[in-house]
Amino acid sequence: MKILTLDIETSPNLAHVWGLFKQNVAINQLMESGEVIAFAAKWYGSKEVKFYSVHHDGKEEMVNAAHALLSKADAVVHFNGKTFDIPHLNREFVEHGLTPPAPFKQIDLKQIVAKQFRFPSNKLDYVVQRLNIGKKTPHTGHKLWVDCLNGNDKAWALMRKYNKMDVEVTEKLYDRLIPWIPSHPNHGLYGDDKRVCPNCGGPELKKQGKAYTAMSVYQRYKCVDCGKWSRGNKRLDVTPITDVR
């Protein structure tokens, strides 16, 4: 399975506002709308973190590169990408006259974190530090974006480092969360080996107990590599009697 971890950076909307508090910005006050200014991406199992930006590559090349990478992916791992990164990229694609990239599954780690755990904060930086798996690159905050939009090379070097680091910590978080992901795209369907852990593709499944549904019993397994629970699809037993609904 080709798994791509991806993170984008966007520019802020620029608008004329008449005050600082509780502003309602009408569309004709919008001077420039936010856009994708950079993205970083990494194939699972490869060391290289790719980076493209409007500064280093130009807008069109960056957008085309994102389209090509997504089109090659079976699954895309991101943090909040279902509502942020992917729709932002899709908007760039349609604005550039591109058709949709080849379909891919999405593994949004923010949704996994929010669903499975109760951390005081579901922010990426908080969660990865709490799990001792790294931290985001510190940066100069809003000023970094302003400097980048002014074409400052040093600021862009930091943006590249920051964006690439985000992808690295996102992938590390994915590694930790693999056994916690419900309905992960099933590795047994993508590779030649069918009897593997659905979540990590590990070949060693230990029989451990049975899995019960309302009517049937199945063999239950635990993955030796990642700890994910799974079950066989062959019924070991079926009840002759079940309740009415």
Site for Zn ion in 168-197 (CB under 5 A): 197
CB of 197 to Zn ion, least distance (A): 3
Nearer to Zn ion, 88 or 187 (CB): 187
Residue 144's identity, in one-letter code, is L
Task: Give me 27's structure tokens.
Answer: 């569309």
Query: 10 Å Cβ neighbour count for 245?
Result: 4
For position 226 contacting Zn ion by CB under 5 A, the verdict is yes
Length of the chain: 245
Cα angle at 198 between 196 and 199, to 5 degrees? 120
Which among 13, 8, 108 has a CA at the least distance from the CA of 63? Answer: 8
| Of positions 104, 228, 230, 231, contacts Zn ion by CB under 5 A | 228
- Options 8-16, 130-138, 144-152, 198-206: segment touching Zn ion (CB under 5 A): 198-206
Spatial distance between the Cα atoms of 159 and 162, rounded to a whole number of angstroms: 5
Spatial distance between the Cα atoms of 166 and 245, rounded to a whole number of angstroms: 48
Nearer to Zn ion, 76 or 197 (CB): 197
Nearer to Zn ion, 134 or 179 (CB): 179
Q: 64 — phi, psi (to 5°)?
A: -65, -40
- Options 61-69, 110-118, 146-154, 220-228: segment touching Zn ion (CB under 5 A): 220-228
| Of positions 76, 223, 230, 231, contacts Zn ion by CB under 5 A | 223
First to last CA, the chain: 40
CB of 1 to Zn ion, least distance (A): 13
| Of positions 134, 185, 188, 202, contacts Zn ion by CB under 5 A | 202
For position 229 contacting Zn ion by CB under 5 A, the verdict is no
User: Which residues contact Zn ion by CB under 5 A?
Assistant: 197, 199-200, 202, 223, 225-226, 228
